[in-house]
Structure 1
Amino acid sequence: MATLAPGAAPLTAEARERRFFFIMACAMAATIVAGFSLNIAMGRSSFAAPPVVHGHGVIFMGWLALYLAQAFTIASGRRALHIRLGKVAYVWIPLMVLAGGIIMLRSARVHGGPPFFALNEFLISNLALLVCFAGLALWSLRIRRHSGWHRRLMLVAVAVLTGPGLGRLLPMPLMIPYGWTASFLATLIFPAIAMMADRRRHGRVHPAYWWGTGIYAGTFVISMLLAFSPLGYAITERIVAGTPGAERPMHAFLPPGFTM
């Protein structure tokens, strides 16, 4: 797909753009897989987890597979298959919100979530960003006939999901108490690369990136303001009340005896 046979016509601008989005899809998927794989390799997580955790993993990895398939089918000219697969996303995205919400609440209650993040930001900002992903992805699907908007909004939506992968690759213990913000800022590298590619190819950045990235950044800021407000603290405390998660400090911390 990326190499032309001798004597073949050069790729059209549309074909080059489709190839770019396929490469970006691969890069984002690889980032997420690498983060979770590193966790397993270092013994921070294992396959000996309850079924609900495995179900969450299957649903989210299934989305990555669907996104890669969609990027590949359109880049390789299989438009009819691309359209048929796209209908699956209407069901898969709400399923992701449900599964993600369940696993976040479970994590907060069972062990207080990752200690390198404040419990309130892990719960409230995390849930808000998951909803942001769903909103951007569904918006992208609703305007799929406008391919420029469709593919760019979906790229920003999937960039939101790279946060957990990047959070497992970054040295979070060294970033306390700014680890959550650092992981958010790291995800912006994907929209930034895409914006630079737009400017190079078209001389300007497509408005879909400004809207998508603006909504994403705005959601993050608002969710953090809420998380660290009296209301945010009260919501968090109520959710974990009477569970093991309530025993950890609200703020980010290094567990006793932790080593890098």
Structure 2
Amino acid sequence: MATVAGTFSFRDKRPDLLSGTPRAHAIDRWIFVAMAAWYIAIVLTGFIPDAIGMVAAANAGLRPPLPIILHVHAVVMGSFLLLLLAQSVLMATGRCELHKRVGIAAFALVPVLVVVGLLLAPTIYREFWNMAQTAPPELKAKLQFRMLMLNDILLMQIRIGILFPLFMGIALAARGRNAGLHKRMIFLATAMPMPAAIDRMHWLPNTIPASAVGTDLYILAAVSPLFVWDIVRNRRVHEAYWIWLGISLPFCAVV
């Protein structure tokens, strides 16, 4: 990861209007704050209605009780997103030194988030599988369809468990040496777990469980505001996007 960050640190000396140069446009300062808020909005839109439904279903005996690890994951992921928002605001308001000090928390929070996520996925899968074995006939058909969904979700969780820490590692390795790569890769890494929220928006057209293409397109849509503004201001595709796509596409093809 450090090798990747180091390789790109000195390759491109062209100005980056979103970092490291005087920012002539107010959006250059606040686009990352807007992206953090946008990610939080996606997560809340996906998870709040689903959480209400899960609690009601658990109370009615239509799904297993909510495991403790699910609540832990919600707290850790929420903390990470709030850290992302706070860090973006600190940079937008010029408090760089405080940003660097607060950012140390990411070195602890990211590994915890990865471990909790890896524990959560098989826990949910196992609970539904156990319930499907003993469910009455009228409920078994619904649970079997849910298991098909969980098969796809489990594969996607494995992909997230690999790519999120990889991209976040590249971002943290670039910290202090390549501000442009660091900040963009932070947001591109954070987009990787977004399917957890997107796939809960059942009103969105999607290709799940037939394929993950629909979800992958929504990930691209989630990062598109930053990408579009980047192109408008810098007139080029920043190296961070090439790294992100180059590593992600093979995983998307497999899963």
TM-score, structure 1 as length reference: 0.73
- Matched with 2:5 is none
Q: Is the 8 A contact 1:159 1:187 kept in 2?
A: yes
**Aligned partner (choices 115, 118, 133) of residue 98 of structure 1:** 115
Selected match of 1:16 from 27, 32, 43: 27
Seen in structure 2, the aligned counterparts of structure 1 residues 77 and 169 have a Cα distance that, compared at 3 Å, is same
Q: Distance in 2 between matches of 1:74 and 1:117?
A: 43
1:118-197 superposed matches below 5 A:
118-145=149-176, 146-171=178-203, 175-178=207-210, 180-197=212-229
Going from structure 1 to structure 2, the CA distance change for 1:121 and 1:201 (only over 3 Å counts) comes to: same
Give the CA deviation at 1:35.
0.6
User: In the aligned structure 2, how far is the partner of 1:86 from the partner of 1:171?
Assistant: 36
Matches within 5 A, 1:43-82: 43-45=53-55, 49-82=66-99
Partner Cα distance (1:76, 1:118) in 2 = 43
Residues 175/203 of structure 1: CA separation in 2 closer, same or farther (3 Å cut): closer
Is the aligned partner of 1:31 residue 2:42?
yes
Give the CA RMSD over aligned residues: 2.5
Paired residue type of 2:200 = R
1:164 Cα deviation after fit: 1.1
Cα distance in 2 between the residues matched to 1:218 and 1:200: 28
Work out the CA distance in 2 between the residues paired with 1:14 and 1:44. 44
Write the letter of the residue equivalent to 2:246.
G
How far 1:209 moved relative to its partner?
1.2
Please state how far the C-alpha of 1:158 moved relative to its aligned partner.
1.0
Deviation at 1:85, TM superposition (A): 1.4
Gaps of 5+ in 2: 1-21, 59-64, 130-142
Secondary structure at the counterpart of residue 161 of structure 1: coil
Question: Partner letter of residue 88 of structure 1?
Answer: A
Gaps of at least 5 residues in structure 1 are: 1-10, 225-260
Given residue 191 of structure 2, which amino acid in structure 1 is its aligned partner? A
Equivalenced residue count is 212
> Secondary structure of the equivalent of 1:205?
coil
Q: Would the alpha carbon gap of residues 61 and 16 (structure 1) be closer, same or farther in structure 2, given more than 3 Å must change?
A: same
- Is 1:83 aligned to residue 103 of structure 2? no
Q: Distance in 2 between matches of 1:67 and 1:17?
A: 17
For residue 56 of structure 1, report the CA deviation from its aligned partner.
1.3
Task: Specify the code of the residue in structure 2 equivalent to 1:144.
Answer: R
Q: Secondary structure at the match of 2:183?
A: helix
Q: Secondary structure at the match of 1:106?
A: helix
